[in-house]
Structure 1
Amino acid sequence: MVVLELNDVIHNHRSIREYEDREVSQELLDQILDAGIRASSSGNMQSYSIIVTKDKELKKKLYTAHMDQSMVVDAPILLTFCADFNRMRKWISLNDAPIHFDNFMSFMIGAIDATLAAQNCALAAENAGLGICYMGSTLANCDQIGELLNLPPNVVPVVGYSLGYPAENPSTRDRLPSHGLVHYDQYHDYSNEEILEIYKERDEKGWKRYMDVPRLKEMTERMGLKNLAQIYTIAKYTQESHHEFSQTVLKYIEKQNFMNNG
């Protein structure tokens, strides 16, 4: 197994969407999952579960739920990290303790635990020379994915990604400068001038990326988009789609018994 310097792993992260037709050994997968289990956890409740999907037929079904993203079927493994209080609720029931953890706060605790475990696994995977691609569709279509993964009440898929050996070597993507993200002592709200300075490089590099890909350039020109902010709000993440996905998530976490808030 290739072992890299942690700083190199962190700073060289990139999303991998193309994978070699090569299996990941169970030994390596176990090491990656063990790294996830060592993540921080609220109250050490470990209120999450990890679903490992290798079955090709199941991945074909998940392909639609994951918005037809090719890596869902091309990668050898999908990892889905779920907020999970089903297990703990059963444990407290067996120990004659009050059964709750069926509210929105519990969902948030489970979602945070799941996300922390996911990032630990991601770092361990990349440290071993594997690639990942996080998929926002895990939460956006949590109801479809939950049904396909046979999730019981008090379990909700929150974050997931493809996993395998990279068959591509994309460049790293730009990030906002640290002074635009980090606040000391208290939140410092931004002036218009600061916003323009913070996003200057992002605007330039993000726009260039769209102009360098014929398919994206054609879409941008066809829609009459003039800058990266318009791409994000008109083409990629519309208000209508976010309202729709919000309703999907709210209805599903209610169905999964996480909205008993008194």
Structure 2
Amino acid sequence: MNSVIQLMQQHRSIRRFKPDQIPPDQVDLILRSAQSASTSSNVQAYSIIGVTDPAMKKELAILVGNQPYVEQCPLFLVWCADLLRLRHSCEREQVEMVHGTMENFIVATVDVALAAQNAAIAAESLGLGIVYIGGIRNHPREVSRLLQIPELVYPVFGMCLGYPDQDPDRRPRLPLEAVYHQNVYSTQRFDQAIEEYNTVMREYYRHRTGGKRDTTWSQEMSEKFRQATRQHMRSFLEEQGYGFE
């Protein structure tokens, strides 16, 4: 196992950070690493908003679901899918861009996710910790107003960055057999793999909480997906110019 693979397999979400600021040259390295990610047809359909202002981070911490580490981390990155820059480029060439399509929505969303994961790995290689914040989609209109996000741009998720002030256990993942299919998709191993994972996760939660949490992965997933969440996202995306034709 080389050092890159070892780093990737040791990933943990960090939710408590030291007050130390991240040196500008390291932030630059992280952002340039993000830009080196794969991108569909070189469209680079994303933008990154770095938030360091204490008042703005405090408001964002509330909007994402009262998550205090958003306020506490020295740098909060908001990762946005972005078609606006592409429309501007088309206008320079006197071409009207077709943007209200599902394909363009997918391309922009995938592009920003790939870039963010590059940034996460770069940050961890520098001794920093990160945690993704999907709660940025709890109140996307309010987030967009606060960050002055224009049409054809939408916030996909946030990311806290900083020096770790905790040493959490690594959360186990599903057995590889549950996610890797050879040649054709198969559900034959689902029951066994999920049963094995439930056992592992129950022990993980018991250890992590000192016995206060006794649940399994499938129980948690059944609670999570028994009802729809963030149903406001479709209308918000349509308002931002992301169609679903």
TM-score by length of 1: 0.86
Matched, 1:182 2:166: no
Matches within 5 A, 1:105-184: 105-184=103-182
Corresponding position: 1:233 with 2:228: no
Q: May I ask how many residue pairs the two structures share in their alignment? A: 243
Aligned counterpart in structure 2 of residue 97 of structure 1, from 95, 103, 118? 95
Deviation of 1:144 (Å) = 3.0
Q: 2:190 aligns with which of 187, 195, 208?
A: 195
What is the Cα deviation at residue 95 of structure 1? 1.4
2:4 matched residue in structure 1 = 6
In structure 2, the partner of 1:223 is: none
Structure 1 counterpart of 2:98, which letter? Answer: H
Q: Give yes or no for the alignment of 1:59 onto 2:57.
A: yes
What is aligned with 2:238? 254
Q: Which runs of 5+ in 2 are unaligned?
A: none
Deviation of the 1:209 alpha carbon: 3.6
Give deviations 1:209-255, integer Å, cap 9, x for gaps. Answer: 433426953xx6xxxxx644233333xx2533xx241x211011101
Q: Distance in 1 between matches of 2:200 and 2:244?
A: 45
Q: Residue 41 and residue 56 in structure 1: after superposition, are their counterparts in 2 closer, same or farther (change >3 A)?
A: same
C-alpha contact (below 8 Å) 2:16/2:166 kept by paired residues: yes
Q: Distance in 1 between matches of 2:160 and 2:76?
A: 5
Shift in Å, 1:101: 1.7
Letter in 1 for 2:226: Q
Distance in 2, Cα, partners of 1:63 & 1:211 = 28
Cα distance in structure 2, aligned partners of 1:208 and 1:228: 11
Q: How far 1:152 moved relative to its partner?
A: 0.3
Percent identical among aligned pairs is: 29
* Alpha-carbon distance, 1:204 to partner: 1.7
Structure 1 contact 130–166 (Cα < 8 Å) conserved: yes
Paired residue type of 1:231: E
Q: 1:185 to 1:260 in 2, by over 3 A?
A: closer
Change (3 A) 1:228 1:39: closer
User: In structure 2, do the counterparts of structure 1 residues 184 and 231 end up closer, same or farther at CA, with 3 Å as the change threshold?
Assistant: closer
Deviation per residue, 1:103-122 (Å, 9 max, x gap):
23211110000000000000
Runs of at least 5 residues in structure 1 that lack an aligned partner in the other structure: 221-225
* SS of aligned partner of 1:40: coil
Question: Which amino acid is the alignment partner of residue 39 of structure 2?
Answer: S
Which TM-score applies when normalising by structure 2?
A: 0.92
CA separation of 1:100/1:216 partners in 2, compared to 1, >3 Å: closer, same or farther? farther
Query: What amino acid sits opposite 1:195 in the alignment?
Result: F
Residue by residue over 1:10-62, the C-alpha shift from the partner in whole angstroms, topping out at 9 and shown as x without a partner, is: 01000000000100011100000000001111110101001111111000110
RMSD: 1.9
State the shift of 1:148 in Å: 2.0
Structure 1 stretches of at least 4 aligned residues deviating more than 4 Å after TM superposition: none
- In 1, Cα distance between the equivalents of 2:158 and 2:35? 15
Contact preservation (8 Å) 2:132, 2:158: yes
Q: Which amino acid aligns with 1:118?
A: A
Which segment is superposed worse, 73-82 or 206-215? 206-215
Conserved in 2, the CA contact under 8 Å of 1:47 and 1:109?
Answer: yes
State how far apart, in whole Å, the 2-side matches of 1:100 and 1:202 are.
Answer: 45
User: Deviations for 1:83-142, whole angstroms, at most 9, x for unmatched residues?
Assistant: 100111011112101222232321111000000000000000001110001112123443
Q: Deviations over 1:174-225 (max 9, x none)?
A: 011212211122212x13xx223212332123223433426953xx6xxxxx
Gap change, CA 1:195 and 1:23, over 3 Å in 2? same
CA distance in structure 2 between the aligned counterparts of 1:135 and 1:78, rounded to whole angstroms: 10
**Distance in 2 between the 1:207 and 1:38 partners?**
38
